Amino acid sequence: MKLPIFSITFSAILFLPLGHTTDHSVPEDGGYSRCRCLPTDYCWPNPSEWASFNASVSGSLIAVKPVASPCHDPTFDQAACEDAKTNYKSSVWRGSFPGGYQQVNFETSAVKNETCYIDTPRPSACGQGNVPIYAVAATSPTQIQKGVDFARERNLRLVIKNSGHDYLGRSAGRGSLQIWTHNMNSIEFSDSFTPDGCKWKKGEEAVTIGAGVQLKPLYSALKDKQKTAVIGFANTVGAAGGYIQGGGHSPLGPWKGMASDNAYQFTIVTADGKHVTANECQNSDLFWALRGGGGGTFGVVTSVTIRTFPDSSMLALNMNTTIPDRNQFYSFVADFHAFLPKFSDAGGSGYYYVFHETKTLIIAGLFAGQSNPNATEALFAPLMQKAREYTNSQVDWFQFPPFPISVGVDIGLTGSDATGGMTLLSSRLISRKFLESADGPKKLSEVFKAIGPNQNTVFLGHVVAGGQVARNNGIDSAINPSWRKALTHLIFARGWDSSTSFQEQAIIARNMTDVETPILAALEPDMGAYINEADLNERHWQKVFWGENYDRLLEVKAKWDEGELFMCKPCIGSENWDAESICRK
């Protein structure tokens, strides 16, 4: 919920009651505080200090509330509650509030035992949970600089939120001040972009986007210019925030590389409050880290410039197979994975779902830059033949005529993403080498079979690597090096509802982290996972998410953010902090 907190008549009642129970401002080790200042601490800014700060950011400070707060006393508001109930599952609606996180579990706090659910009775408490206390609704880098300075000087927990889509909860934080980039929506095209300070470089076509630009509006802008770019397949995920800073996969990846491979330049407010440019010619260590090192870690990115391409044609197909016998179904799942290297060599990308309950495999294949449907049909013919040979199998095949990429994504993305659940993910990157090995595909399908019965697991495979992602292995960036070897990025989810206690949630999470994920991980212990779509409780997260790049990332972090102002979990250097990134260990 968005509440403008300061108007001409200043109202102190809008401030949270301050308990003043502890004082985290007292320097303990080496002259700096061990913990961030929380609203219950003496060091928390007083109302007039917040008012001065608000004036310094042109009145853009907002008191943040969980989005379900209008449905609970004492803030009950019939109309706003109805609105919240209608839109609770809309990512557009959630993204329009600084307190709206796309996974509701990140709005809660197990530590404080606080929730604010939409479907609990009106008198039940609405706790602030991990929803920040205040947000700077930034529209300019200057406001962000002021916010960063204020957080640093007052020792506040600082978080950055763009769309709030993060599956690891990194854009939320209990007792924090949030920099909210949602309203920074500029999109500027250039036919001849040269990174600042790289005068010797030839100009290339590019688009520079503000920190809050979301994927669907960017796709629409690209379409208007008859261009395309490597960005993710979603509506309201931010293009310049956690997505690209985590590496950014795309259905266009096998055609043109990872999103971060196509970044020319970032502008960023760093921990010292400076607004700097990072590209291959200046601050190149920061440029390296911002391409895969993870969001919320090195500063607040204010804009990103990425490569654009002339629009091209694309093919899309569906092959849906149901095989009633479970063993035969998983045998076909192995056949399909054994086929993936060939699919990749033909320029394929796309997504597939393995449904344990219905024994169905849905394949959505894409071929960017291609226009010959006969070639793709011939490619799939042997796989279809295999599918048909299984007892009582049902195989449906459909292929679209070629279409421009820009038109396809515009039609495929309807405007809003499914959201508003309580979800944790688990994932692994699976290498081409493994899928080419004699028993690799079979071992993988055995894992699906083993994990499948729990919550009737649906596995989602992303064929977003291989091709140009693999060929880009000479690009020196911070992404998990396993991306260059991978062919598919596999994820599964665990969820619950508002009746699930924190203790029960912990059991579900622990089972995923310590029982289920290790089964998947054991297939290829050195491959790891994609930071943006993974289990936030991964045990060996440094290696799993960044592999050999982790130590270098620590060095860049120490240089640009010595005081660890930007801290989240699991983010670079967070091994030194508690689970909430509030106190140093």
Ligand X SMILES: Cc1cc2nc3c(=O)[nH]c(=O)nc-3n(C[C@H](O)[C@H](O)[C@H](O)COP(=O)(O)OP(=O)(O)OC[C@H]3O[C@@H](n4cnc5c(N)ncnc54)[C@H](O)[C@@H]3O)c2cc1C
What secondary structure letter does DSSP report for 214?
A: B
* Cα separations in angstroms, 372 against 74, 313, 349, 368, 379: 62, 10, 15, 11, 11
Structure token digits, residue 341: 């290297």
Task: Say which residue the tokens 């925030």 belong to.
Answer: 241
Q: Which residue has the tokens 């495929």?
A: 412
The stretch near ligand X (CB under 6 A) out of 292-300, 446-454, 470-478, 573-581 is: 292-300
Among 165, 227, 307, 359, binds ligand X (CB under 6 A): 165
Which x/- pattern, by CB under 6 A, does the window 325-344 give for ligand X? --------------------
What whole-number distance in Å separates Cα of residue 290 and Cα of residue 296?
10
Please state the closest distance from residue 461 (CB atom) to ligand X, in A: 13
Instruction: Indicate the SS3 state at residue 51.
Output: helix
CA dist., res. 215 & res. 237, Å (int):
6
Q: Which two tokens stand for residue 259?
A: 């999103």
Q: Which of 456, 366, 450 is nearest to 402 (CA)?
A: 366
- Closest approach, Cβ 530 to ligand X, in A, equals 7
**What is the rounded distance in angstroms from the CA atom of residue 239 to the CA atom of residue 149?**
25
> Which residues, numbered 378-417, are part of the site for ligand X (CB under 6 A)?
417
What gap in Å lies between CA 571 and CA 212, rounded to an integer? 21
1, 84, 126, 160: which one binds ligand X (CB under 6 A) = 160
* Beta partners for residue 90, in sequence order: 418
Stretch binding ligand X (CB under 6 A), from 167-175, 310-318, 336-344, 440-448 = 167-175
Stretch that binds ligand X, among 64-72, 164-172, 281-289, 435-443 (CB under 6 A): 164-172
Of residues 48 through 67, those in contact with ligand X by CB under 6 A are none
> How many whole angstroms separate alpha carbon 82 and alpha carbon 585?
43
Question: x/- site string to ligand X, residues 522 to 561, per CB under 6 A?
Answer: ----------xx----------------------------
State yes or no: residue 243 binds ligand X (CB under 6 A): yes
Q: Work out whether 238 is an interface residue with ligand X (CB under 6 A).
A: yes
By CB under 6 A, the residues from 248 to 277 that bind ligand X are 248-249
Distance (Å) of CA 315 to CA 9, 309, 350, 352, 528: 60, 17, 11, 16, 31
Q: Is 573 in the site for ligand X (CB under 6 A)?
A: no
Please tell me whether residue 162 binds ligand X under the rule CB under 6 A.
yes
Member of 53, 167, 367, 545 binding ligand X (CB under 6 A): 167
Q: Using CB under 6 A, which of the segments 12-20, 191-199, 295-303, 534-542 binds ligand X?
A: 295-303
Q: Pick the stretch among 161-169, 408-416, 499-507, 550-558 that binds ligand X (CB under 6 A).
A: 161-169
441 contacts ligand X (rule: CB under 6 A): no
- In angstroms, rounded to a whole number, what is the distance separating the alpha carbons of residues 504 and 524? 30
* Options 1-9, 46-54, 130-138, 244-252: segment touching ligand X (CB under 6 A): 244-252
Least separation, in Å, of the C-beta of 536 and ligand X? Answer: 11
Of 170 and 227, which CB lies nearer to ligand X in the complex structure? Answer: 170
Note whether 135 and 178 are within 8 A (CB). Answer: yes
Binding residue for ligand X, selected from 166, 538, 561, 580, defined by CB under 6 A:
166
CB of 326 to ligand X, least distance (A): 30
**Residues 224, 226, 228, 234: what is their CA dihedral angle, to the nearest 10 degrees?**
40
**Given the complex with ligand X, which of 181 and 277 has the nearer CB atom?**
181
Coil, helix or strand at residue 346: coil
* Contact letters for ligand X, residues 198-237 (x by CB under 6 A): -------------x--------------------xxx--x
Least CB distance to ligand X at residue 11 (A):
29
What is the nearest approach in angstroms of ligand X to the Cβ of residue 12?
Answer: 30
- Complex with ligand X: residue 81 or 301, whichever CB lies closer: 301
CB of 28 to ligand X, least distance (A): 27
Cβ-based burial of 514 (10 A; exposed 0-12, middle 13-18, buried ≥19): exposed
Alpha-carbon distance values, 463 to 212, 354, 485 (Å): 27, 14, 12
d(CA 155, CA 149): 10
Q: Where are the beta strands (DSSP E) in 112-230?
A: 134-137, 157-161, 176-180, 187-193, 204-210, 227-228
Size of the chain, expressed as the number of residues it contains: 585
564 near ligand X, judged by CB under 6 A: no
Residue 460 touches ligand X, criterion: CB under 6 A: no
Q: What are phi and psi of 420, to 5 degrees?
A: 80, 15
Minimum CB separation of residue 465 from ligand X in Å reads 11
Print the binding letters for residues 297-316 with ligand X: x by CB under 6 A, - otherwise.
---xx---------------
Structure tokens given for 499: 């009746």
Integer Cα distance of 12 and 47 in angstroms: 7
How far apart CA 233 and CA 22 sit, in angstroms, is 45
295 binds ligand X (CB under 6 A): yes
Shortest distance in whole angstroms from residue 374 CB to ligand X: 29
Tokens of 73: 């006393």
**Residue found by looking up tokens 């919320």 in the block:** 296
Query: 562: burial class by Cβ within 10 Å (0-12, 13-18, 19+)?
Result: exposed
Residue 443 C-beta: closest distance to ligand X, Å: 26
HEC string for 255-299: HHCCCHHHEEEEEEECCCCCEEEEECCCCHHHHHHHCCCCCCCCC
**How many residues sit in the footprint of ligand X (CB under 6 A)?**
35
Q: Given the complex with ligand X, which of 316 and 379 has the nearer CB atom?
A: 316
- Verify binding: residue 432, ligand X, rule CB under 6 A: no
Footprint of ligand X on residues 177-196 (CB under 6 A)?
181
What lies within 8 Å, CB to CB, of 520 at 6+ separation is: 426, 428, 447, 451, 490
363 versus 531: smaller Cβ distance to ligand X: 531
Among positions 108, 143, 155, 163, the unique one binding ligand X when judged by CB under 6 A: 163
Give the shortest CB-401-to-ligand X separation in angstroms: 24
Establish if 164 lies at the interface with ligand X (CB under 6 A). yes
Closest residue to ligand X using C-beta atoms: 295
Nearest approach in angstroms of CB 452 to ligand X is: 23
Query: Which residues lie near ligand X (CB under 6 A)?
Result: 102, 159-167, 170-171, 181, 211, 232-234, 237-238, 240-243, 245-246, 248-249, 295-296, 300-301, 417, 532-533, 568
